[in-house]
Amino acid sequence: MTSRNHNQPSPSEITPEPVYQARRRLLMAGAALPLLGLGACEAGSSDAPSSQSATPRPAAEEEQTRFEDASTYNNFYEFGTGKADPARYAHTLQTAPWSVQIAGHAEETGSFTLEDILKPHTLEDRIYRLRCVEGWSMVIPWRGFPLGDLLKRFRPTSKAKYVSFHTKVDKQEMPGTRYPVLNWPYREGLRMDEAMHPLTLLVTGMYGRDLPRQNGAPLRLVVPWKYGFKSIKSIVRIEFTEKQPLTSWNLSQPSEYGFYSNVNPAVDHPRWSQKTERRIAGTSSRLFANRVPTLPFNGYADQVASLYTGMDLRKYF
Q: What is the pLDDT of residue 289?
A: 72
Q: pLDDT confidence of 284, banded at 50, 70, 90? A: low
Q: What is the pLDDT of residue 14?
A: 39
Please tell me the least confidently modeled range out of 5-19, 46-60, 135-149, 264-278.
5-19
* Within a domain: 75: yes
* Within a domain: 313: no
When pLDDT is averaged across residues 47-51 and rounded to a whole number, the result is 43
Reported as a single tens digit per residue, the pLDDT across 204-237 is 999 999 999 999 999 999 999 999 999 999 999 9
Reported as a single tens digit per residue, the pLDDT across 54-113 is 567 899 899 999 999 999 999 999 999 999 999 999 999 999 999 999 999 999 999 999
pLDDT exceeds 50 at position 40: no
pLDDT exceeds 90 at position 157: yes
Q: What is the pLDDT of residue 286?
A: 58
Q: What is the pLDDT of residue 78?
A: 98
* Within a domain: 303: yes
* Within a domain: 2: no
* Within a domain: 10: no
Q: pLDDT confidence of 16, banded at 50, 70, 90? A: very low
Residue among 96, 97, 76, 99 at smallest CA distance from 88: 76
pLDDT exceeds 90 at position 287: no
Range of 77's domain? Answer: 18-308
* Within a domain: 95: yes
Overall domain count for the chain: 1
Q: What is the pLDDT of residue 298?
A: 98
* Within a domain: 317: no
Please give the C-alpha separations between residue 265 and each of 21, 52, 76, 146, 176, in angstroms, as whole numbers: 21, 12, 24, 26, 31
The CATH number assigned to the domain holding 222 equals: 3.90.420.10
Q: pLDDT confidence of 46, banded at 50, 70, 90? A: very low
pLDDT exceeds 70 at position 159: yes
* Within a domain: 39: yes
